[in-house]
Chains A and B, each alone.
Chain A
Amino acid sequence: GQNIDQPTEMTATEGAIVQINCTYQTSGFNGLFWYQQHAGEAPTFLSYNVLDGLEEKGRFSSFLSRSKGYSYLLLKELQMKDSASYLCAVTDYKLSFGAGTTVTVRA
């Protein structure tokens, strides 16, 4: 089975940096996804990591350590529109999601 943990909520100030951690214990692992979901909307793909290390995409970066069962999503230069839930998901032959982290950005 899959056990995926991430914090429930985080709050940060506009312009700041926030790091969302995700730890997993899984029977199989073929990669880790991060999705963003605004309230009342569909989740949208942010990043995919399969090898250890950091993947950078503009203001968003994602890190993976397979030996530690650990990933984080780094959001830099926070904007109000970044207020959303962020979902960590691990794939073997199907995708298993964590419960999501709700990030609130304050002015």
Chain B
Amino acid sequence: DVKVTQSSRYLVKRTGEKVFLECVQDMDHENMFWYRQDPGLGLRLIYFSYDVKMKEKGDIPEGYSVSREKKERFSLILESASTNQTSMYLCASSLTQGENQPQHFGDGTRLSIL
């Protein structure tokens, strides 16, 4: 079974802090994704990566950056956290770039910015 592991289930940070969310997958998947999930809005794509050191903007990249130095690890960075970034953050991975490849999700990090 694919295992996508997010470093924290719950995280509380302060406005203006730099925040790192870590995600690791153990199945040698090429693609990795970061989403945020908010009530009534569903999952929205922040950034994704098809290869090491490669990244592409999703639908809502503002205020975020990412890093993929190794194939198995994809980090989401909040450069200067703001209260509107309080949300559930979900990481996902998929095997290849084919459109029929399902994404496998981590359990999520519930981030609160105070």
Q: Decide if B42 touches A48 in the complex (CB within 8 Å).
A: no
Among A13-21, A75-83, A94-102, the one that faces the other chain is A94-102
CB distance from B32 to the nearest CB of A (A): 12
Known contacts A94-B45, A94-B48, A97-B43; is-contact A43 B105 (Cβ 8 Å): yes
Q: Whole-angstrom distance between the alpha carbons of A72 and B58 in the complex?
A: 26
Q: How many A-B residue pairs have CB under 8 A?
A: 46
Known contacts A30-B99, A93-B99, A94-B58; is-contact A45 B104 (Cβ 8 Å): yes
Known contacts A31-B99, A93-B99, A94-B58; is-contact A42 B105 (Cβ 8 Å): yes
Those of B44-93 within 8 Å (CB) of chain A = 44-45, 48, 58-59, 90
Bitwise, B93-110 to A at CB < 8 A (1) or not (0) is 000000110111111100
A91 at the interface (CB under 8 A from B): yes
Out of A41, A42, A43, A96, name the residue touching B45 (CB < 8 Å).
A96
Chain A facing B: main interface SS: loop
Q: Whole-angstrom distance between the alpha carbons of A45 and B94 in the complex?
A: 11
Query: Which of chain A's residues have a CB closer than 8 A to the CB of B107?
Result: 41-42
Those of A56-107 within 8 Å (CB) of chain B = 87, 89, 91-100
Chain B residues at the A interface, C-beta cutoff of 8 Å: 4, 33, 35, 40-45, 48, 58-59, 90, 99-100, 102-108
- Apart from the given pairs A8-B40, A30-B99, A97-B42, 16 other A-B contacts in the complex at a CB distance below 8 Å: A31-B99, A33-B102, A42-B90, A42-B106, A42-B107, A43-B105, A44-B105, A45-B102, A50-B100, A87-B42, A93-B99, A94-B48, A94-B58, A97-B43, A99-B41, A99-B42
